[in-house]
Amino acid sequence: MSTPARSLLVIVLAAGEGTRMASSLPKVLHAIAGRSMLAHVLEAAKGANAASVAVVIGPDHDRVAAEASRVLPGAHVFVQGERRGTAHAVLAAREALARGYDDVVVMYGDTPLVSADTIATLRAPLASGAAVAVLGFRAVDPTGYGRLVTRDGALLAIREDKDASTEEKRIDFCNAGLMAFDGRAALSLLESIGDANANKEFYLTDAVELARAVGREAVACEVTAEEVAGVNNRAQLAQAEAVIQQRLRARAMAAGATLVAPETVFFCADTKLGRDVLVEPNVVFGPGVTVGDEVVIHAFSHLEGASLARGVSIGPYARLRPGATLGEGVRIGNFVEIKAAELGAGVKINHLSYVGDSSVGEGTNIGAGSITCNYDGYGKHRTTIGANVFIGTNTLMVAPVSIGDGAYVGTGSVITEDVPADALAVARARQVNKPGWATRLRERFTARKAQKG
Ligand code: UD1
Ligand code: MG
């Protein structure tokens, strides 16, 4: 018989000021791989099967609260009125703690690279009786971090940098900040923490010594410094981005995509790629992209909010914007922009075109330099193009307008009226040829020049 799973409460501390970001945006809302740092942490909590997630925010952080609810609609948001330390912040979520979970894990909103697996690693000692578990890493420069004081594998204490003795300062095993607590002991442990330290703050880290004082065990789990890297400024934000991009590239390749030059391809955390997808160099995926099997994405393409069915080929230099929905085998060529448009199977738009707020039926071919004129300066309007339509080169379709199945539109037309199915529409000035006219013009100009000279 398997033992029932232990229930988990995750408390995310996100009351940070973020002043070193030099930004009007709260720190945890800065994005890596197209998703806020807070969202990365909440996704990890979700992946670790948290029964409940609490987010502790600072006063006036409505945007952080809104992001938490957007990502995890069931998340409970608590406000820490005053910044009085990490233990004080956790106690802002007292109501959640009091509900009684088996395990409580505290995470930081500005430490976005922690995986669900690491949360599981941190919880493991709780199942075997420990009261506190701490994530530790080896720091090249431990200055500023809490040091993990250990003896024979047991964790004795965490000493904050400002409170550490010279000897303790030499320890390079540091507290990453993530801590797990036995849910039954958590509240009383946290409530016994005082603020008698260099910062006059309530340190969450004091829980280690307090647990030991009542005969309970504390454990440190070691992880790589990379996984627990915190973000305090834009340079660290870029470092975290680099780490996550490396992971996403590895994930894409493991799932069957060929990346010709992986280091030049940028994904979002939510990018979905099918099998046997080929991505050429210098491609950027924004949020919300789904790519089917056997799709080819040629160099220098930019995709966002787009869905590509099996066998599609785009680029080089294609731009797919939100709402671009490409049916099977669609071909999008160079310098083509698609926005909020559904393209049926086999549609070809090979050169220099803009198709927006449109629907295009199966098998239709749109010639080079064709544009759907969807905006009149006030509102957006739709263009509806049927199946197996041929749109001649350099056609302007002034929306709202519709072109019926099987119609032909003559090159260089400005289409302002609906075109019936199977009709030919030509909307351009007729060509006039004037025989000998050019010769007479040249004679006149030559004579005029001779007079002046
Ligand atoms: C903390 C740890 C330290 C560890 C380091 C890792 C404590 C006492 N120290 O130190 O051992 O090595 O993280 O980066 O826990 N926060 C609140 N409210 C507060 C104070 C903090 O929400 O009143 C949040 C912050 O937004 C941040 C996290 O808690 O997400 C850590 O706070 P911070 O001030 O950065 O702690 P450190 O001094 O870095
Ligand atoms: Mg910090």
- The verdict on 192 and 246 lying in the same domain is no
- The verdict on 178 and 254 lying in the same domain is no
- The verdict on 167 and 307 lying in the same domain is no
As annotated, the active-site residues are 351
Is the Cβ atom of 230 under 6 angstroms away from ligand 1? yes
Is 18 a residue whose pLDDT tops 80? no
**Among protein residues, the one whose CA lies closest to atom 25 of ligand 1:** 16
Would residue 331 count as lying in a domain? yes
- The verdict on 195 and 264 lying in the same domain is no
- The verdict on 197 and 296 lying in the same domain is no
- ω before 400 within 30° of 0 (cis)? yes
For 288-326, the pLDDT digits (tens) are: 999 999 999 999 999 999 999 999 999 999 999 999 999
CA distances from 402 to 357, 372, 399, 416, 417 (A): 12, 11, 8, 9, 8
Would residue 180 count as lying in a domain? yes
For 406-444, the pLDDT digits (tens) are: 999 999 999 999 999 999 999 999 999 999 999 999 999
For residue 174, which ligand has an atom nearest its CA? 1
Is 375 a residue whose pLDDT tops 80? yes
- The verdict on 157 and 305 lying in the same domain is no
Q: Of 194, 222, 250, which residue constitutes the final position of a domain?
A: 222
Is 65 a residue whose pLDDT tops 60? yes
Is 266 a residue whose pLDDT tops 60? yes
Can you give the CATH number for the domain in which 396 is found?
2.160.10.10
Is the Cβ atom of 13 under 6 angstroms away from ligand 1? yes
Instruction: Tell me how far the alpha carbon of residue 409 lies from the centroid of ligand 1, in angstroms.
Output: 65
- The verdict on 207 and 287 lying in the same domain is no
Instruction: Tell me how far the alpha carbon of residue 232 lies from the centroid of ligand 2, in angstroms.
Output: 7
The pLDDT score that the predictor gives to residue 187 is 97
Instruction: Tell me how far the alpha carbon of residue 108 lies from the centroid of ligand 1, in angstroms.
Output: 8
Q: Of 222, 255, 288, which residue constitutes the final position of a domain?
A: 222
Its domain, for residue 138, covers 8-222
- ω before 262 within 30° of 0 (cis)? no
Measured at the alpha carbon of residue 43, what is the angle toward residues 131 and 54, in degrees to the nearest 5?
55
What is the mean predicted confidence (pLDDT) over 220-240?
96
For residue 85, which ligand has an atom nearest its CA? 1
Is 3 a residue whose pLDDT tops 70? no
Residues 6+ apart with CB under 8 A from 366: 347, 348, 349, 353, 355, 360, 385, 391, 395
- The verdict on 261 and 129 lying in the same domain is no
Q: Which of 205, 6, 245 is nearest to 90 (CA)?
A: 205
Would residue 228 count as lying in a domain? no
Is the Cβ atom of 106 under 6 angstroms away from ligand 1? no
Can you give the CATH number for the domain in which 64 is found?
3.90.550.10
Would residue 439 count as lying in a domain? no
Is the Cβ atom of 306 under 6 angstroms away from ligand 1? no
The pLDDT score that the predictor gives to residue 124 is 97
The pLDDT score that the predictor gives to residue 53 is 98
For 325-370, the pLDDT digits (tens) are: 999 999 999 999 999 999 999 999 999 999 999 999 999 999 999 9
Measured at the alpha carbon of residue 253, what is the angle toward residues 249 and 259, in degrees to the nearest 5?
75
- The verdict on 375 and 247 lying in the same domain is yes
- The verdict on 205 and 297 lying in the same domain is no
φ/ψ of residue 409, rounded to 5: -115, 125
Would residue 453 count as lying in a domain? no
Task: Give me the number of domains the chain comprises.
Answer: 2
Q: What is the pTM of this model?
A: 0.92
**Among protein residues, the one whose CA lies closest to atom 1 of ligand 1:** 177
Q: How confident is the model at residue 51 (pLDDT cuts 50, 70, 90)?
A: very high
The pLDDT score that the predictor gives to residue 2 is 60
For 336-382, the DSSP string reads: EEEEEEEE-TT-EEEES-EEEEEEE-TT-EE-TT-EEE-B-SS-B--
- The verdict on 116 and 187 lying in the same domain is yes
Would residue 436 count as lying in a domain? no
Would residue 229 count as lying in a domain? no
Q: Of 192, 222, 252, which residue constitutes the final position of a domain?
A: 222
Would residue 3 count as lying in a domain? no
- The verdict on 169 and 248 lying in the same domain is no
